[in-house]
Amino acid sequence: MTEAHDEYALGEVGECPQCEQRYLFSQTDEERHCLTDGCKGTLTVVYRYMLETREKAEKLMNELADLCNGGRMSDIAKGIEKGVARQHRTLQQQMFSAMLVAMRHWAAQAAKGPGYYDARNEYTVKTAKRIMELVDNSVHVPLI
């Protein structure tokens, strides 16, 4: 890992924050701009450990979905309560932030309108929207 995230080196992966496309950086400054047609994004360096963390988080959400697909909700709730309670309090704060990210996603679906959800997840997106309003639409929590 290099020091500054703004700098990049040959062969490093750049990611566009607008279209999420990834490109390998070359040595030219032009390569810093997103190559996707019509996109004006500026690529930022994304390191292997960042990609691994994203993949782990995605895998965790798939595991949670699998658990919810067939598991009794009361058993899942007991496991979640026990698992949350025994975490370090600073980590609990970070876990809450992670859960707010899910709320932010659903709230965004609610904001886009009825074409982005239906009766099966309407309660989820509309309730998530209310929760995000409660936290001023921020997923950031104090890290103490």
Residues that bind Zn ion (CB under 5 A): 16, 18-19, 34, 36, 39, 41
Give whichever of 31 and 67 is closer to Zn ion, judged by the CB atom.
31
Give whichever of 21 and 97 is closer to Zn ion, judged by the CB atom.
21
Q: Is the distance from CB of 116 to CB of 69 less than 8 angstroms?
A: no
CB of 39 to Zn ion, least distance (A): 3
Burial letters 20-31, b for 16+ CB under 10 A, else e: eeebebeeeeeb
**Which residues make Cβ contacts (< 8 Å) with residue 1, sequence separation at least 6?**
47, 49
Give whichever of 36 and 92 is closer to Zn ion, judged by the CB atom.
36
CB of 23 to Zn ion, least distance (A): 9
Distance between CA atoms of 49 and 135, rounded to whole angstroms?
29
CB of 17 to Zn ion, least distance (A): 8
